[in-house]
């Protein structure tokens, strides 16, 4: 049986928050998983440390200078890991015949091509890299169906919804009696703040999330609620939902990770401690369950659960994302690209916090949606949106 065979796993973005949590779960189950490839952008010291522990067949870095450095250190350590550089190598370790599972945990648009390659090669794809799906939704889901990939959402909300739906939930929510998806949001570190108060927010404040420890980009997205906007788009594609079927519910404790509402009045929720190892273990072992190193939720220490609607005036990124999904075509790719540029500028101190939403709105206006049937069109829309965003930044 396939469950007895050791699965070979490629971890894209191994040095990141999701990547290291994935390796933590894998280490707990050496009989079930072995690492085929590990990849990182520029953190070569961190990738070296991971290679020493996991002894992958392959390692990939973005630049050849970093790859050469890593190659030399691994040779000194007597490890046989083959080290390569660049985007093509990322694609190759994602589609390689000996790979069963790909954890897509690169942040941003840089993850699109390797993630799509894993899908097209029919792998089990553990999707953390939500930007890849937001950019290419229709094309991505069509490739999943056509190539027989097993797509398992790792984003905690989507993983929760996946667990709340019938195992076979394709063909539209209505067919399974699901009326609404309730997407929970912590509200981020600035829940309850007005636009005026938000104007002076610093990168350090924005990256200090109350419940989750994450990479800097997604931390800023959580603070602006763009993360919830990207997740709304992600939910529409993953579960074949209309934007109006996804309701965002602010739930500051982050204990309910999301819910599905059914036509008979039932609402099914998935609960747990906020620890990404739970959805990661679910994705690795599905349809089985394995130990993830996460304590069982103690409801007495949680004591209470609160819910409130999101403030879409102070946090315009959420309605902007919903509008981009409604507009369709290349609009979500444009939204994502503009947001990536805006977040990088905010982290560099070149743009204020409220400037993120302003910039995204301007770029969406300047780059109206076009049909997104082909990957080339999506990549062009992404590049054009980045150019527009950079030009606006240079002028302000």
Using rule CB under 6 A, residue 19 touches ligand NAD: yes
Q: 38 to 67, contacts with ligand NAD by CB under 6 A?
A: 40-41, 43, 62
Of the candidates 349, 345, 341, the one whose C-alpha atom is nearest the C-alpha of residue 367 is 341
What is the nearest approach in angstroms of Mg ion to the Cβ of residue 212?
A: 8
Q: Please give the C-alpha separations between residue 16 and each of 22, 26, 97, 191, in angstroms, as whole numbers.
A: 10, 15, 25, 26
Per CB under 6 A, which region of 24-32, 129-137, 239-247, 305-313 contacts ligand NAD? Answer: 129-137
DSSP code of 57?
S
What is the nearest approach in angstroms of ligand NAD to the Cβ of residue 44?
A: 10
Q: Which of 126, 218, 317, 385 binds ligand NAD (CB under 6 A)?
A: 218
Residue keyed to tokens 């890593």: 70
> 142 and 149 in contact (C-beta within 8 Å)?
no
Distance between CA atoms of 3 and 101, rounded to whole angstroms? 13
Residue at shortest CB range from Mg ion: 155
Distance between CA atoms of 299 and 301, rounded to whole angstroms? 5
Using rule CB under 6 A, residue 105 touches ligand NAD: yes
Q: Give 88 or 197: the residue with its C-beta nearer to ligand NAD.
A: 88
Interface with ligand NAD (CB under 6 A), residue total 25
Using rule CB under 6 A, residue 107 touches ligand NAD: yes
Tokens representing residue 150 in the block: 């097993």
Per CB under 6 A, which region of 102-110, 296-304, 356-364, 368-376 contacts ligand NAD? Answer: 102-110
DSSP code of 288?
S
Residues forming the site for Mg ion (CB under 5 A):
155-157
Name the E strands within 113-155: 124-127, 150-153
Using rule CB under 6 A, residue 18 touches ligand NAD: yes
What is the nearest approach in angstroms of ligand NAD to the Cβ of residue 127?
A: 9
Per CB under 6 A, which region of 35-43, 165-173, 240-248, 327-335 contacts ligand NAD? Answer: 35-43
Distance between CA atoms of 139 and 93, rounded to whole angstroms? 21
Residue at shortest CB range from ligand NAD: 16
Per CB under 6 A, which region of 105-113, 290-298, 318-326, 373-381 contacts ligand NAD? Answer: 105-113
Helices and strands per DSSP (H, E), number in the chain:
17, 11
Q: 140 to 179, contacts with ligand NAD by CB under 6 A?
A: 155
Dmax (CA) for the chain in angstroms is: 64
> 250 and 186 in contact (C-beta within 8 Å)?
yes
Residue keyed to tokens 């101190």: 349
Name the E strands within 204-343: 246-250, 256-262, 267-271
**Which partner in Mg ion, ligand NAD, none is near 316 (CB below 5 to 8 A by kind)?**
none
What is the nearest approach in angstroms of Mg ion to the Cβ of residue 119?
A: 20
Binding site for ligand NAD (CB under 6 A): 13-19, 40-41, 43, 62, 105-107, 110, 128-131, 155, 212, 214-215, 218, 276
């Amino acid at each position: 049986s396939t469950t007895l065979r050791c699965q070979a796993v490629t971890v894209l973005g191994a040095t990141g928050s999701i990547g290291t949590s994935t390796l933590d779960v894998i280490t707990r189950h050496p009989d079930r998983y072995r690492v085929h490839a590990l990849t990182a952008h520029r953190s070569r010291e961190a990738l070296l440390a991971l290679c020493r522990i996991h002894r992958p067949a392959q390692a990939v870095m973005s630049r050849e200078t970093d790859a050469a450095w890593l190659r030399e250190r691994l040779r000194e350590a007597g490890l046989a890991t083959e080290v390569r550089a660049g985007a093509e190598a990322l694609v190759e370790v994602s589609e390689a015949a000996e790979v069963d599972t790909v954890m897509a945990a690169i942040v941003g648009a840089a993850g699109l091509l390797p993630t799509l390659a894993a899908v097209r090669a029919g792998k089990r794809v553990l999707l953390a890299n939500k930007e890849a799906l937001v950019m290419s939704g229709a094309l991505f889901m069509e490739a999943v169906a056509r190539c027989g990939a097993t797509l398992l959402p790792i984003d905690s909300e989507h993983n929760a919804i996946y667990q709340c739906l019938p195992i076979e939930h394709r063909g539209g929510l209505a067919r399974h009696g699901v009326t609404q998806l309730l997407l929970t949001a912590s509200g981020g570190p600035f829940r309850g703040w007005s636009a005026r108060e938000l104007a002076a927010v610093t990168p350090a404040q924005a990256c200090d999330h109350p419940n989750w420890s994450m990479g800097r980009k997604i931390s800023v997205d959580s603070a602006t609620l763009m993360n919830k906007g990207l997740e709304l788009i992600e939910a529409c594609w993953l579960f074949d939902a209309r934007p109006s079927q996804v309701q965002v519910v602010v739930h500051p404790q982050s204990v309910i990770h999301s819910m599905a509402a059914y036509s008979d009045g039932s609402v099914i929720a998935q609960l747990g401690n906020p620890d990404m190892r739970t959805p990661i273990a679910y994705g690795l072992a599905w349809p089985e369950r394995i130990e993830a190193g996460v304590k069982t939720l103690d409801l007495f220490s949680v004591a209470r659960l609160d819910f409130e609607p999101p403030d879409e005036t102070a946090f315009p990124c959420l309605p902007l994302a919903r509008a981009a999904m409604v507009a369709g075509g290349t609009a979500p790719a444009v939204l994502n690209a503009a947001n990536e540029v805006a977040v990088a500028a905010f982290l560099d101190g070149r743009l204020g916090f409220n400037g993120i939403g302003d910039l995204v709105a301007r770029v969406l206006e300047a780059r109206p949606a076009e049909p997104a049937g082909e990957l080339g069109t999506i990549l062009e829309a992404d590049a054009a949106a980045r150019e527009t965003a950079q030009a606006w930044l240079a002028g302000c």
